[in-house]
Amino acid sequence: MTSPKNLHIGDFLSQKLDLPEKELRKLLNMQEYLNDKIGETALRENLIKNKEMEEILCFQKKHNISFGNAAIYLGFMKNSHVKYLLDIQAQTKNRIGELIVQKGLVTQEDFLKILEEFYSKKQIQFTILALIRGSLSKEVQQAVTRYGYRFQSCTEQEEIELYVEELKPQLILLDSETERVIEYSQKLKRDTPSGSFKIALFSDTKEKLEMLSGYDFGIDYFLPVPFDLKNLINIMIDNEFKSGEQRKERILVVDDSSIARQSIAEELTGTGFQVLFAENGAEAVGIAPLEKPDLIVMDINMPVMNGYQACLQLKRLSNTNRIPIVVLTINNTREEREKGFDVGATEYFTKPFAKGHLSAYIKHLLSGSAEIRTERILVGENDPICRNIYETILNKYGFRFELVENGQKVLDLLEKGFKPSAILLDRHMPEMDGLKACHKLKMNDDYRHIPVIISTKEKEDISEGLKVGANDYILKPFDGDELIARIEVHVKNFTLSKNFKNKSN
C-alpha cells in the first residue's frame, strides 16, 4: 500500500477518473506541446512566413534540434527573436488541471473535491492565508471553503506571520494594492524555511504582471483580477506535478539572494535540470572547476566577488572557459554589455522576467547542435576572451570555424587548404595585425574574393580597414545577432558568386 507521503497526484487522478496511465501521459505530453508552440507564435507575430515555417520544421526534424535553433541556423530568426517568443510562451503557459477540465474528464467542482481528497489522504489540509482586498477575499473564501479547503483571511501583515507558524499554509495570497507588498513578499520568503509555502499575487493589470514577474520578489504565481477559480486550481495542482523529463545537464545558480536561488532552482528542477548553488562569484569560481556544470546562471551584483569578476576568472581557466554563462541583470544597457563583453559574457537575461522563461531559454541554449551549417568561418583574434566569445556565438549558430591568434596564422591556414566563406580579423594582433593581413589577402588572387570583416573597438580603424580592402567591419562590443547578421550577408553573397562562377565554367 502506498504511504500517504509517497502518494502522487498522477496516480491518484488516474484512479479517481478511471484514467489509464497512458491517457494521463498523453495529457502531460499535450501540456508540453501546447507550451512549446513557438512556431505558431512566430507566425502570429509575423516573424516568419508559412513557407519558412515548413522549411524550419523539415530542418528541425532532420537534425533533431529545437524549433528555435532550426530557425536560427536557417537565418529566418535571430536569437533575440527566439528569446522574445519564449517569453510569450512562458506568460501563456497551459496547466494540466485546466486541460483535464477542458477535456471534459471532470467538472471544475468535482476536480476541486478530488484535490481535497488527495490532500486528505496525504494527511495534509490545504490551507490558504490571504491578505487581499475585502471583496476579493470573500469571493475566494466562498469558492474554496465549500470544498473543504481551509481559508484564513488577514487584515494586517502581522497576522499573516502568526498564522504561518500556526497553520502551516501551502499558499499565501497577496494583493498588488497592498502597500509595499513586494518588500513584504520578500520578507516572508526570507524568514520562512525553504519550500514551506507558495505566494500568489493578485494584480489588476497585465502591465503590473509583466513588471513584477521576477524571482527577486519571492512571488511564485500571479492571479489576474477579476478572480477565476480555475487559476487557483492550476496553482494548487501545479506543485504536485513535476516534469517527467530528467535531464543530464547540471546548472550552477550563482546569486546572493536566497529567494532568487530558491525560485530559479524550483523552476529548473521542475524542468528536469540538476542544480548546484553558489552565493557569490568567489564560490562560483571555486565550484565550477570541480563540478564542471553545463551552464552557469550568474547574477551581477553580489558581495565578495561580483558576476563580472567571476565571469572573467572562469573564462581565463582552461577547464571552465567553454561553459556558457547566462548573466542576470537589471540594466541591459550598452554600458553593461561592454562590461560583459570584456569578461566574455554573451548571454544576458534582463530582470524581471516571467516564470518559465529562463528554463525555456536554457533548454534552447543547450539544445543547439554545433557544425550543422556547411559554411566555414576563419577568425583571427589575439584576445582569448574574445576568441571564446566568437566560439560561443559561432557554435550557437551552427557554423564550422577555426580560431587563430594573428594574421600570419590566418595566411598559414589558408595555405594549408582551409577554405572559409568569410574571414574575421581583429585590428590589433601581434606578428601581423588585421589591417596588414587584410591587405595581403586582397593582393592575392587566390584569396581576394573571400569577404573580410575587420573587428575593432575604435571607430577610427574603420576607414583604415576599408582602405586596405575589408568588405565590412564590426565594432566591439557586439552581440550574437549583430555578428551573425554581418557574417550571413557576406557568406550569402560569397556562396552566390561561387555558384555563378561554377556554372559559368
pLDDT digits (tens, 9 = 90+) for 160-197: 888 888 888 989 999 988 888 878 888 888 777 545 78
The pTM (predicted TM-score) of the whole model is: 0.69
Distance CA 489, CA 467 (A): 20
Q: Is the pLDDT of residue 152 over 50?
A: yes
Q: Is the pLDDT of residue 281 over 60?
A: yes
Distance CA 382, CA 438 (A): 15
Lowest-pLDDT choice from 232-246, 367-381, 392-406, 452-466:
232-246
Q: What rounded mean pLDDT belongs to the chain?
A: 83
Q: Is the pLDDT of residue 35 over 50?
A: no
* Between 133 and 231, the higher pLDDT residue: 133
Distance CA 272, CA 246 (A): 4
Q: Tell me if residue 78 falls in helix, strand or coil.
A: coil
Lowest-pLDDT choice from 202-211, 258-267, 359-368:
202-211
Distance CA 30, CA 97 (A): 12
Tell me whether strands 295-299 and 250-254 are parallel, antiparallel or unpaired.
parallel
Q: Are 361 and 271 in contact (CB under 8 A)?
A: no
Distance CA 441, CA 450 (A): 8
Segments in 333-479 forming alpha helices (H): 334-342, 357-366, 384-396, 407-415, 434-442, 460-467
Provide CB contacts within 8 A for 238, sequence distance 6+: 95, 96, 97, 221
Q: Is the pLDDT of residue 34 over 50?
A: no
